Amino acid sequence: MKLNLTENEKRDIVEHFQRGVYLPDKYRFLLFDSERDVELIWNGKNSEITNVVLPFQHIEQIDEPREGNEFGDGRGTLFDFSGKQIAGWTNKLIWGDNKLILSSLKNGPLRKEIEKQGGLKLIYIDPPFDVGANFSIDIEIGEETFKKEPSIIEEVAYRDTWGKGADSFISMIYERLRLMYDLLSQDGSIYIHCDWRLNSHLRIIMDEIFGKDCFQDEIIWHYQGSWVEPKDYFPRRHNSILFYKKSKSSIFNRTYENDSEYQVNTKRWKKYLKDNKIYGDFYPKDDLRFKTYLENFIKENNRNPLKNDVIFEAKGSVTGSVWYIKKVDPKTTQNIGYPTQKPEELLEKIIEASSNEGDLVADFFCGSGTTLSVAEKLGRKWIGTDIGKFGIHTTRKRMINIQRELKKDGKDFRAFEILNLGRYERKNFININNDLREEERLKQIEKKEKEFINLILNAYQSEELSNFFTIVGKKRDRVVAIGPIDLPVSSEFINDIIDECLSNNFTKVDILGFDFEMGLDFTSYVNQGVDVAFKIIPREVFDKRAVEKNQISFYDIAYVNIKPIITGKGVNKELSVELVDFSVFYNQDSLNYSEEIKEGKYKIIIENGQIVKISKNKDTGEISRDILTKKWSDWIDYWAVDYNFSDRKEIIKINENNKEVEKWTGSYIFDNEWQSFRTKKKRELEFISAPKSMSKGKYKVAIKVVDIFGNDTTKVVDIEI
């Protein structure tokens, strides 16, 4: 192809290359063909899309919600009118980076399961479009409220998404939208929630990915906003929702405004209808909406609806593209105190319009789970993902409550499971090229493992130590050992660490691990001559920005103590579990919280492992302290029991030699059989689980405790009945 360039243009191009700077946009069109009429270009735009496939780690299964002192056998009775669990598809709540999740859903074995359900029919997302949004969460402790700032990974994922302005946000969302397009079924639709900051950018991106002919609407959701009147612009009291179909065959159900249903006396209409047609122009002028309704009904059903009706219940006006919906009322039960929470009515309109009962819908920025909650109530299947652990925990509680409500009302519900990429995401960090020769492959493994250790040591703000077997670093007067990247820290590994400490006269050691072996008795390592501290490595260590800012927090392992209660005689035994103790240790830095105290005000801080309310007297300026976590149970938000932990193996599907095979990971799935948790309305916890009938035998009973900051601890105990 001959380029039609002037000599000046050629010299200009050469000069730009010599200076190592970008060419002006005009040269892109002179040098390269462009199929698009309009395209959004930003710094860092890349056409490469991740295609990584990681197995999903099964963390938890919630089949049937249990509460109170009742624990039925699930079979029901002749007079049992409660709702039942629907067999088949299990809804999925997934914690992690949605880029890796989307790629694994699109390219991995779970794609077949999605297609088996008819494909993904609807995606709704509410990405973090608000650079100034407050993502802090109010946590209630007794009568007081503690403001928890976002975890570092949420901080990096949300606020630092805007680190380079709109460029960094658009780069983040562009790749994810392309993955969503590929995952969406051919008759599916997508709704993207945004506001004035990026709706124009997203519109152009969506035109590029879906095609401008697939644009359907820009829905305006308006609401009563702040009464503050800005000087230079009109008060902003609406958001936009961009609606795109993937094809002309995409599902769309006409909906009507619920508040405008009305009755029509059909006697005076019958004389104007003949052979399913409306004749004349003398019909009642006040019934023009009804005339439109009749015409549409006859066209769709090919029959006259008035033959046998005297009073006809007519639907109201067709739903338009402007929706007035109030924000979530803080006084209603719908409010769960989560930032950016959207009203359920908003999602009801979207889900009813672009999906049918039994269809699969997804929200890949699910937050507090509003989309999933509405989907469950409307009889849809769902997938929800979020990067925030507290969001996943909040959604878990919300969905269990929905299950309980549906069961109580005699409506059916679905089981759901909690997944993440966990150890597989970490293992991907040290992924090596298996096509290399053995010698080169071993060198690459050694290099990657060293990079991993250095990464953790930097994040832990410790220095490297060499020439030891298990000891890899030192922090002040304590040596540091790091567990494997893709396996739990085992008792054998801990014993090796203690032996090495004793032989080298190390008296204090921190053992860092992503996971710890189920059933470990941490108290058994107390009196072995070494001060051992067990710490959890957070997944945000893999974010270089968070490491560079020294923002990574390693939490101490929490302590849990339980007491099994076995009752009954002979073969009729029942097992209950009593939660008798729980302790954690947090400090102010690990919770990323700071706030200046003012006169007549108070602040709540973490001090020496306790949550303390510090008040400043308005008149005297005197400071007073009140410990809010007065007892161990104040730290607990949620706890659950699996009465037979070893009966549900974790099976994953992987590709081996181009063939899909099932493999047991060696781990088990926590079967959430009974749970007690706090809500905004119900602050009390039960500390003795409902009794469950158990036959004679040996069991591993697992207890999961989630603290008020969303961090969970699992303990496994051996029980013989």
In the chain (721 residues long), the average pLDDT of successive 10-residue segments reads 73 79 68 65 78 90 73 47 79 93 94 95 86 50 54 44 64 92 97 90 93 95 82 89 95 75 60 63 58 72 62 65 88 75 93 96 95 96 91 92 90 92 78 71 81 90 93 95 89 94 95 86 86 88 75 83 89 91 71 57 70 78 78 90 91 78 86 90 88 91 89 89 88
How do beta strands 137-141 and 559-567 pair?
unpaired
Note the pLDDT of residue 497.
96
How do beta strands 85-95 and 413-420 pair?
parallel
List, as one string, the DSSP characters of 662-699.
EEEEEEE-EE--EEEE--SS-----SBPPPEEE-SSEE
Q: Are residues 28 and 34 in contact, defined by beta-carbon separation less than 8 angstroms? A: yes
Predicted model pTM: 0.80
Q: Are residues 511 and 532 in contact, defined by beta-carbon separation less than 8 angstroms? A: yes
Instruction: Identify each DSSP E strand in 485-622 by its residue range.
Output: 508-513, 531-536, 555-556, 559-567, 573-583, 602-607, 610-616
Domain 57-255+320-423 in CATH: superfamily?
Vaccinia Virus protein VP39 (3.40.50.150)
Residue 164 neighbours by CB under 8 Å, 6+ apart: 43, 44
> Scanning the structure block, which residue is given the tokens 């949004």?
133
Per-residue pLDDT reduced to its tens digit, 565-618:
999 887 788 999 999 999 887 765 544 444 566 677 777 667 666 777 777 787
Note the pLDDT of residue 158.
44
Per-residue buried b or exposed e for 586-607, using 16+ beta carbons within 10 Å of the residue's own CB: beeebbbbeeeeeeeeebbbbe
**Burial, 32: exposed, middle or buried (Cβ in 10 Å; 0-12, 13-18, 19+)?**
exposed
List, as one string, the DSSP characters of 141-161.
ETTEEEEEPPPHHHHHHHGGG
Give the 3-state secondary structure of residue 258. helix
Token pair for 409: 């009302």
Q: Are residues 355 and 361 in contact, defined by beta-carbon separation less than 8 angstroms? A: yes
Assign 3-state DSSP to the chain and report helix, strand, coil percentages, each to 5: 30, 30, 40
Note the pLDDT of residue 160.
43
Q: Are residues 360 and 115 in contact, defined by beta-carbon separation less than 8 angstroms? A: no
Amino acid at 381: K
List, as one string, the DSSP characters of 79-103.
T--S--EEEEEEEEEEES-HHHHHH
- Rounded distance between C-alpha atoms, residue 180 and residue 364, angstroms: 9
Note the pLDDT of residue 620.
77
Edge-to-edge strand ranges of the sheet holding 57-62: 322-324, 215-222, 238-245, 184-194, 120-125, 360-363, 381-386, 85-95, 413-420, 57-62, 670-671
Token pair for 595: 């706030």
Note the pLDDT of residue 687.
94
Kindly report the length of the chain.
Answer: 721
Residue 451 parent element (H or E): helix 438-459
